[in-house]
């Protein structure tokens, strides 16, 4: 816990990450008393997201506290994710931070970045729905078991590990962590503070809900995304 007695949430950024992966979780924790959220970067240079938007870290990896209470790894599109998987600076930071962190986890394709640092070894985990087959390829090397179905989050309370599904799952994941750390009442207060009452006008959020034709079309659209991550995973397995 930080000197201010706030739980420190460190979110390490990298070029090509997805905005909602970390902004959603940041909103949940930042709107709750007792948490301090910071975005971390290898440098203080502007980070470009997969949406071609720009964000700036609060501080560098070198300036981050030695003790991080919640280390939250966001996902992104495959060129950025692959770069983070093999970046000596990014991976070096994770490998240094993980042993001292209380909670460690990821959302979306951040699971691959965290897996590369050994942060999901011997864990059950999830990721973005179309990348689940790629995540399963890491079972032999990292002993990662892919959770059944398309869960919004998977949490190992005993080992203090967590992973989330794709993008918008960061909201549910952060609220679940908040509930486990601060209790149901606090989580409900935060949910009301951010008026998070999802009632989408359509219901195709994962392949169990979407019409088969829609899922097939999205998979066609994401062929480069899935193929790019497949190549990155095979490279990681062979490293």
Instruction: Tell me the domains of the chain and their CATH numbers.
Output: 7-238 (3.40.50.880)
Q: Which residues of 17-31 are buried (b: 16+ CB within 10 A; e: fewer)?
A: bbbbbbbbbbbbbeb
Nearest CA to 23 among 55, 52, 45?
55
Predicted confidence (pLDDT) per residue in 27-43, tens digit: 999 999 999 999 999 99
pLDDT at position 239 = 86
Predicted confidence (pLDDT) per residue in 207-226, tens digit: 999 999 999 999 999 999 99
pLDDT at position 1 = 45
pLDDT at position 2 = 46
Residues 26 and 11 sit within 8 Å (Cβ to Cβ): yes
First to last CA, the chain: 35
Q: Is the pLDDT of residue 3 over 70?
A: no
Which residues on neighbouring strands pair with residue 163, listed in sequence order?
106, 154
Mean pLDDT across the stretch 151-164? Answer: 96
Predicted confidence (pLDDT) per residue in 78-124, tens digit: 999 999 999 999 999 999 999 999 999 999 999 999 999 999 999 99
Residue 167, classed as helix, strand or coil, is coil
Predicted confidence (pLDDT) per residue in 48-85, tens digit: 999 999 999 999 999 999 999 999 999 999 999 999 99
The structure's pTM equals 0.96
């Amino acid at each position: 816990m930080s000197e201010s007695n706030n739980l420190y949430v460190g979110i390490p950024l990298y070029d090509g990450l997805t905005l909602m992966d970390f902004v959603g979780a940041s909103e949940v924790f930042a709107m709750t008393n007792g948490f301090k959220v910071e975005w971390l970067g290898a440098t203080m240079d502007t980070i470009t997201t997969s949406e071609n938007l720009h964000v700036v870290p609060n501080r560098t990896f070198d300036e981050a506290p030695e003790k991080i209470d919640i280390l939250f790894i966001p996902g992104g599109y495959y060129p950025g994710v692959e770069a983070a998987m093999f970046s000596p600076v990014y991976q070096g930071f994770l490998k240094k931070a993980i042993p001292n962190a209380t909670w460690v986890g990821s959302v979306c394709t951040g699971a691959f970045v965290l897996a590369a640092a050994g942060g999901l070894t011997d864990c059950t985990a999830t990721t973005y729905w179309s990348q689940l087959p790629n995540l399963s390829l890491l079972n032999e090397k990292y002993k990662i078991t892919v959770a059944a179905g398309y869960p919004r989050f998977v949490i190992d309370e005993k080992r203090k590990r967590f992973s989330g599904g794709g993008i918008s799952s960061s909201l549910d994941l952060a609220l679940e962590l908040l509930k486990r750390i601060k209790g149901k009442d606090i989580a409900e207060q935060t949910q009301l503070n951010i008026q998070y009452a999802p009632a989408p006008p359509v219901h195709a959020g994962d392949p169990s809900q979407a019409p088969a034709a829609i899922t097939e079309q999205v998979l066609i659209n994401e062929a480069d995304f899935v193929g790019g991550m497949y190549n990155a995973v095979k490279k990681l397995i062979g490293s």
